[in-house]
Structure 1
Amino acid sequence: MDRNDALLHDWRERALQLEAQAARAVIGQQRVIRLVTTAVFARGHVLLQGDVGVGKTTLLRAYARLIGGAFARAEGTIDLMPNDLIYHTHIGKDGRPAIDPGPLTEHGEELAIFFFNEINRARPQVHALLLRVMAERSLNAFNREQRLPHLLVFADRNRVEREETFEIASAARDRFMMEITIDAPEADDERLALMFEPRFHDTDALIAQLPEGVVPYQALGEVAAAIQHSIQATPALQDYALRLWRATAQPGEYGVRLTDADVHDANEVMLAGASPRGMSQLLRAARVCAWLHGRGHVTPEDVRAVFFETIAHRLCLQPVYELRRPEIVGALVRGILGQVAAP
């Protein structure tokens, strides 16, 4: 076993320990935890979707503690301005105006996870700042460049309340590696635990019980790069991924059929398929998925395991079909995975 293989083996054990510890804080979310772990090691930002109170903030706080970095949070409101994320002004104890760092700058380079709650309530100007931070992991603050080399952005969309919201543009959605839906646990024993076990009633105490730095955030970039260089993709797997990409734009050409009586041709609902960035990030996530399973190469199962979360939010429908996006996109993705033959 060479040095790189030994490094990845050791880090895989840490990643599995990370998942086990996260599951202590948020129960009944095994698939969500695996997807978030995949995003962490693929260095991809995540769009979260779920109802109020299902544990999104608790999950992210748990990950911030387990990787040892700083956690910051901002609430999306209609009056939030871009500068509110960088600094805030107030009257100090001496009665004079004072300026303090905002949530994106107060932790400096130690910021590991930034959670933007209800991003669709914020103005497009705020989205623009966040997109730059996500793309460049830096921003201009206090007349200098502030680097955020370890930053991962998680943004939440409230899918229940739509009043006074700004829908996220397709270009903005494409910046997120994944969109992950978090629902309440289905099992009765898990629901009973959330209701009656006191440890789940105090989030601060719950997070404090978790070990710090199981996966040191400063090294994640190096490990992520090693995963991408070490996990191989065969020519057959590459051809499979290419056919999946083409099917996202022309699903009808691959035999995808929608059962909706109003849609006779799957091609007619499509405005654009997955972007090159999207397919690149699909394969980044698939390599991490293979690594977490102890494999040295990507399999079709690895691609399929992350396909919906990495591609569905990137599919652009004709405007007339956007209001029915959840049902149509779900059927499209299922049809693509069902009709494009795997090697």
Structure 2
Amino acid sequence: MYSFQNDYSEGMQPAILRALETINYHQNHSYGQDIHSDAARDYIQEALEDFSVDIHFIAGGTLTNLTFISHILKPFEAVISAETGHINTHETGAIEATGHKVCPVLTKNGKLTPDLIRPVLDMHENEHWVDPRLVYVSNPTEVGTVYTKEELEDLYAFCKRHDLYFYIDGARLAAALAAKEETHLTFPDLPKLCDAFYIGGTKVGAMFGEALVLVNENFKERFRFNMKQKGAILAKGWFLGVQFEELFKNNLYIEAGAHSIAMMKPIKEAFEKAGIPLLCEAPTNQIFPIFPNALADEINKKYLTTFQCKPDKDHTCLRFCTSWATNENAVKDFVEDFEEMCNRLL
């Protein structure tokens, strides 16, 4: 069965695999203070056109989020997130376990706006409540939608006016940047749009790893102390450095995001042709089509997908996700199979 469950089922980019093999017997300094991690930081700073940011390599997204959030917030401070936000749904209460409440906000499309955040601030009016201090967004969101540059500018301006920090989870940032026609985003924009963000490697063909970028000067001091306490510093940290070296050579990072989107396009077109609605409009490598139950069951006999929700008793919403390594022939086969299923069942 071919899998459209996620964008991290395959191993790693061939360039990363070759690089790791090449340096396998080289001796390196430990704990991320090696020549490969330094080179990767240089590559990322060049892409961002900002050499003032601090960059830390961390093994995974949940560990990145909890290490960062626990570092910047005081014990009585909280983080605002869309209800669908990763820290609120798929991190096993990791943020709460560090002592910080997540304040979830119901959205129609997974995206926060100033108007949605304002009531949370109004509600938490004094010391009898937690004090919301950080706004967390994912770009793309967990339902495949994207924030435009203009929307991020509005959010960041709102945060600054209300003395809030603004943090972007970039687990699938490559897809947001590759969808430039919709987002108008480039790498150099990012340090101007938030206090911190991370560049996801796991979902673009790294074996593992994310690059946390600290923009706000107040976050930088003694950050590695918190990393060590949270188990976020790898002894063999050069494995992270090598991977980000390769991802940021020759535009591989953006190419990976672009490939995942290109592989989704024929699938999305097939759903549109069959009149299958989407949970919300999504221009990246994740879409959430809503099928009649019988069609969803038929798809899942031959292809792996992820169950999202039951909009009603007669329909099932599934997540389809393509990756940096999705095979073009597999996509063609799925489209042909899907058309045959529709002819039989619709």
Shorter chain as denominator, the TM-score bin is 0.3 to 0.5
Could you say which structure has the greater relative contact order, defined with CA pairs below 8 angstroms and 6 or more residues apart?
Answer: 2
User: What is the TM-score of this pair, normalised by structure 2?
Assistant: 0.32
User: Higher helix share goes to which structure?
Assistant: 1
